[in-house]
Amino acid sequence: MNRLLPVKLALSVAVATLCACQSLPTAWGPSGAPATNVASNSNIDIPLSSLPLVEKRESLTATGYAVISAQNHRIPAQQRLLAIRAAKLDAYRSLTEQVYGLRMDATATVADMVVQNDTFRSKVEGVIYGATLVSITPSGDDTYETTLSLDKTTVQDLRMLYLGQLAAKNK
């Protein structure tokens, strides 16, 4: 029995990965829930319970942080303003990751069964509009925290815009 455990684990990971790779719905249903039809020209129905968690939320929220003393200015008031701006940009980056995903590149070098080098890079790219500023609050003595919110209909619009751009680029 114990020999089957790795096989069961690998099978579970494979099924979870395949479920996570399904297409996003193209429209929201009349009740505000994502439509079960994947595409307007498709007859494939996906149960709502299998949709990604992001699709079930009313809105996406993201929080960004920035350290005041790390800002490149000698006037304290200007440092605070720059920290607020940096925290807002960090929150926008987080929203972009949630809407479009994150591209990860990773490499690892192993020699003599010892990790010599392990590096990774991430990249996020996209357009965000319609985000609502929820709060800007000092967090501790030297940090600002900014929270943004994005309505699910705007998220759907952004994704459709992105898919349209991909389709136009691939023609």
Q: Convert 93-146 into a string of H (helix), E (strand) and C (coil).
A: HHHHHHHHCCEEEEEEEEECCEEEEEEEEEECCCCCCCCEEEEEEECCCCEEEE
Domain count, the chain: 2
Pair (79, 36) in one structural domain: no
**Whole-number percent of the chain with pLDDT over 70:** 67
Q: How confident is the model at residue 162 (pLDDT cuts 50, 70, 90)?
A: confident
d(CA 153, CA 130): 10
Instruction: Give the residue numbers spanning the domain of 43.
Output: 1-56
2 and 46 fall within a common domain:
yes
Contact between 84 and 137 under an 8 Å Cβ cutoff? The reply is no
Taking residues 143-154, report their average pLDDT. 95
Counting residues of the chain whose pLDDT is more than 90, the rounded percentage is 51
Higher-pLDDT residue of 22 and 127 is 127
One domain, residues 85 and 118 = yes
pLDDT at 88 over 90: yes
Q: Are residues 46 and 73 in the same domain?
A: no
Do residues 80 and 5 share a domain?
no
pTM assigned to the model? 0.62
- Confidence class of residue 55 from pLDDT cuts 50, 70 and 90? low
* 62 and 39 inside one domain: no
Query: Are the beta carbons of 92 and 64 closer than 8 angstroms?
Result: yes
Same domain, yes or no: 106 and 136 = yes
